[in-house]
Structure 1
Amino acid sequence: MPHAPEPYDREHAAPAGGPAPGEPGRQPRRVIVDPEGPTLVEGPVEVVGEDGTVAYSDRFVVALCTCRRTRTAPWCDTSHRRHRRPRRPGEDESHGDTPA
């Protein structure tokens, strides 16, 4: 379960673990961006907000809110599902694509 945000202390922050980028054994983090929903990040993750608060989750995948409607920031609470983006003129209803 994601933990509530707490103040971020750069001076005493834990160093990033594991080998440096490019060294054997270093695996990149996968981030999945969905324009209609949250950004999915392989965990565990530590999210530092612009106000310096830190939120930590040890889940294997976390959903970060990108619509700013969530009540559990920075985590997605599916609020985006209740507020659909208005269709633009000419968009197909079933796919949201503009006809060719």
Structure 2
Amino acid sequence: MPSESEERTAEEPCRLTVTREGPMLVEGPVEVVLDDGTTVRSDRFTVALCTCRRSRTYPWCDTSHRRRSRR
């Protein structure tokens, strides 16, 4: 039986889409390890990760970046 690392290399790479003024889109399911060591998981087919840290549901994007005033 292959180890977990060997199994991942045989699969397609995970796709990340960086948006200019919004979240980072990740093809799921995903597991995110936060800076405090907490692990959160989403089984959705695409996950929006917050990059502005304004989200009340961090690390998931709740579109809080849209309320920012633009100059």
Q: TM-score, with normalisation over the residues of structure 2? A: 0.86
Q: 2:58 & 2:4 partners in 1: Cα distance?
A: 23
Partner of 2:22: 37
Aligned length: 69
Unaligned runs of 5+ in 1: 1-14, 87-100
Secondary structure at the counterpart of residue 7 of structure 2: coil
Partner of 2:59: 74
Following superposition of structure 1 onto structure 2, how do residues 1-100 of structure 1 map, counting pairs within 5 Å? 16=4, 19-21=7-9, 23=10, 26-86=11-71
Aligned-CA RMSD value: 1.9
User: Structure 1 stretches (4+) deviating beyond 4 angstroms?
Assistant: 15-18
Query: Structure 1: which amino acid aligns with 2:40?
Result: A
Q: Which has the higher strand share?
A: 2
**Percent of pairs with identical residues:** 61
Q: 1:32 & 1:76 partners in 2: Cα distance?
A: 14
